[in-house]
Amino acid sequence: MFARLNLRTEVLQSYAFVARNFNLIKRYWGWELVWLAYSTATSLAVVFIGEGSALITGAEDIDTSYFVLYLLLGTLVWGFLSGLFNDISEMIQWERWEGTIEYTLMAPVHRFTQIIGQAGFAVLHSLLFTMTIGVAMIIFFSLDLSDANLFGALLVLLAGSLSLVSLGVMASILPLLYTERGTQMTHIVQAFLLLISGVYYPIEVLPSVLQTLARVSPVYYVLNGIRSAVLEGTPTSELWGYIVPLLIIGVVGMPLGVWVFRQAELYAKRHGKLKRVG
Amino acid sequence: MKAAIDRNQDALNVRNVTKRFKVSKPPFWTRWRAQKGATGNGSTASGGRGGDAGMQGVVAIGGVSLDVHRGEIYGILGPNGSGKSTLVRMLSTLLIPDEGQVLVFGLDVVRHEMEVKRVINRVSVDAAFFKKLSPLENLLYGARLYGMTGGEARRKSIDILGRLGLEARSYTQPMDEMSRGMQQKVAIARAFLTQPILLLLDEPTTGLDPRSKYEVQEFVNELRDCHDATILITTHDMGEADRLCDRIAILDEGRIVAEDTPAGLKRLIRRNGHEPTLEDVFMQLTGKKLSGAEEFDPEPVEVAN
């Protein structure tokens, strides 16, 4: 799988995917604006639940600003990770839609190289997108982040990105194998991650089976790590409890994801599933 | 040990290649209803070629063998659904044969996929592009996939697009604002950019006006003559095949029914008062006649393979 990699060529080939995807974003800028407006509105809607918590429950001793920040981190981190997951898992669906899948897959590019390029774009794209929403939110809610360990939070986020990329790669085989319904199937994976990972609530409220599953979800460690760094100001040296599991999932998951993808590609080539239309 | 392309070998050897596709069974209630209807009126729904398609699959390519020599322009003619595109997909590593072997300059396309990919390229009937991207953006993407730097790719792209007659202002406009002929020229440019030594052209001129067709055909000739490329082309345009190809295979229902030079193929069918055209050959060998062509009265012929 990693044999005979010529570093210069691999870098150029990886960059092909980054440049192509940013060119596509430039051309589809209207979609980006619509999606940005939608994401900002849904994030605001979630965060306003925190603002209204005292009114909803009738309790007066709720730390509203803590709750607002708790929900804000949930929605931003989820926005980042789900964006990342989408950008990776849609790498096949997008090509099917444009009709370029056969062209890309017959180019002399290792799948690992393609995934690195797609992942590089996905991290940059999701980071820019989430930061735009995040800055708007911080201004909107006048949040005080003076005690937050933002560097530590960023480290956790980057470690989490690696593991989410591997999950995205595995999910991307669904559109490869199921030409018509594959994308919808990736949405199910995403929805399940949202349910179990404690994005808007502590996982302790979940049934015990789901709590067990939450502990193998990388999203759970990303959220807890970032909440710890931002809400509690935990120093970076104490964030390894979150970073290490994420790195392990990523380091194991990436080669596994590439291998699974390669098997799916071979299956698709045996059964004629790369064809542009179904 | 790293496998290497051997330019002294044939550009392409296809050895007894077969490809079947499974056909999904219809839902049980549809089958039940059809069965019930059949019991009532004594008729059954017929499968596609390959007999009981629902159970055994459709034979898209059945035991095809052919050799394409280096520097040849080799044509494949055949009616719609005869298996031309399936064969081209197998040659271009996009489909794995069920049986048989495909060698490109001595390398097996399945075992040495990456080495083969480096020396081939393909232009398909539908110009597959990112439609909102410009020709230049699409070409840069394609060139980078083959390991070219941005600067080199940009310089070569502009050169090729210019030679294909595209106006400079169209280099940066979205592909979906271009005519099909222009898009197809960009597809040819993209394939040419990577300097393939085996170029697979799957109906590259379908839907093009006569001038665009001529320009594409000129380009194909230039590729062979000036760049030592071997070309395999599928087409429905008999005149094009006659003009371009050194040898032609006629494919029907997944099997090669004849293979020869254009002149050799014409000799295969009886002359009956007029010089046969490649279209006459095609009609006879694929077992189909145009209405009003009775005066031609072809004889059955013994064919290869």
Is B159 contained in some domain?
Answer: yes
CA–CA separation, A77 and A133 (whole Å)? 11
What residue of B is the nearest CA neighbor of A97? B130
Q: Which two tokens stand for residue B175?
A: 């592909």
In 10 A of CB A18, how many CB atoms? 19
User: What band does B46 get if pLDDT is binned at 50, 70 and 90?
Assistant: very low
What residue of B is the nearest CA neighbor of A20? B141
Residue B45 contacts A, CB cutoff 8 Å: no
Name chain A contacts of B94, Cβ cutoff 8 Å.
102, 105-106, 269, 274
The whole domain housing B106 covers: 12-29+56-296
Residue B141 contacts A, CB cutoff 8 Å: yes
Name chain A contacts of B92, Cβ cutoff 8 Å.
102, 106
Name chain A contacts of B133, Cβ cutoff 8 Å.
20, 23-24, 27
CA–CA separation, A160 and A218 (whole Å)? 6
Q: How far is A145 from chain B (nearest CA, A)?
A: 41
What residue of B is the nearest CA neighbor of A19? B141
* pLDDT at residue number B113: 95
- Whole-Å CA distances, A166 to A186, B300, B305: 13, 60, 49
Is B304 contained in some domain?
Answer: no
Angle among Cα B200, B22, B50 to the nearest 5 degrees reads: 85
Here the ipTM equals 0.87
What residue of A is the nearest CA neighbor of B91? A106
In 10 A of CB B46, how many CB atoms? 8
pLDDT at A119 exceeding the cut of 80: yes
Is B99 contained in some domain?
Answer: yes
User: What band does A4 get if pLDDT is binned at 50, 70 and 90?
Assistant: low
Q: Which of A13, A100, A266 sits opposite B130 (nearest CB)?
A: A100
Is B228 contained in some domain?
Answer: yes
On whether the CB atoms of residues B77 and B282 are closer than 8 A, the answer is yes
Across the interface, do A9 and B147 touch by the CB < 8 Å criterion? yes
* pLDDT at residue number B297: 43
Is B18 contained in some domain?
Answer: yes
Residue B55 contacts A, CB cutoff 8 Å: no
Is B191 contained in some domain?
Answer: yes
Q: How far is A95 from chain B (nearest CA, A)?
A: 8
Q: Tell me which residue of A90, A95, A88 sits closest to A119, measured CA to CA.
A: A88
CA–CA separation, A153 and B101 (whole Å)? 54
Reported as a single tens digit per residue, the pLDDT across B47-101 is 334 444 444 578 999 999 999 999 999 999 999 989 999 999 999 999 999 999 9
* pLDDT at residue number B142: 94
Beta strand spans in chain B (E)? 12-21, 58-68, 73-77, 99-104, 107-108, 120-123, 198-202, 230-234, 247-252, 255-260
Domain segments of chain A: what residues? 7-271
* pLDDT at residue number A278: 31
Mean pLDDT, chain B, whole residue set = 84
Across the interface, do A19 and B93 touch by the CB < 8 Å criterion? no
Domain of residue B190, CATH code? 3.40.50.300
On whether the CB atoms of residues A114 and A17 are closer than 8 A, the answer is yes
Into how many domains does chain B fold?
1
pLDDT at A276 exceeding the cut of 70: no
Across the interface, do A276 and B128 touch by the CB < 8 Å criterion? yes
Name chain A contacts of B95, Cβ cutoff 8 Å.
269-270, 272, 274
Name chain B contacts of A108, Cβ cutoff 8 Å.
114, 117-118, 145-147
* pLDDT at residue number A97: 85
More confident residue, B36 or A124: A124
Q: Which of B128, B132, B150 sits opposite A27 (nearest CB)?
A: B132
* pLDDT at residue number B184: 86
pLDDT at B164 exceeding the cut of 60: yes
CA–CA separation, A156 and A243 (whole Å)? 6
Residue range A50-64: mean pLDDT, rounded: 89
Between A150-171 and A240-271, two packed helices, what is the crossing angle to 10 degrees?
A: 20
Residue B22 contacts A, CB cutoff 8 Å: yes
User: What band does A208 get if pLDDT is binned at 50, 70 and 90?
Assistant: very high
Is B39 contained in some domain?
Answer: no
Reported as a single tens digit per residue, the pLDDT across B223-257 is 888 888 999 999 999 999 999 999 999 999 999 99
What is the CB-side half-sphere exposure of residue A99 using CA atoms within 13 A? 13
* pLDDT at residue number B205: 86
> Which 62-101 residues of chain B touch chain A by CB within 8 A?
86, 89, 92-96, 98
Reported as a single tens digit per residue, the pLDDT across B11-42 is 999 999 999 988 777 777 777 777 777 665 54
pLDDT at B296 exceeding the cut of 50: no
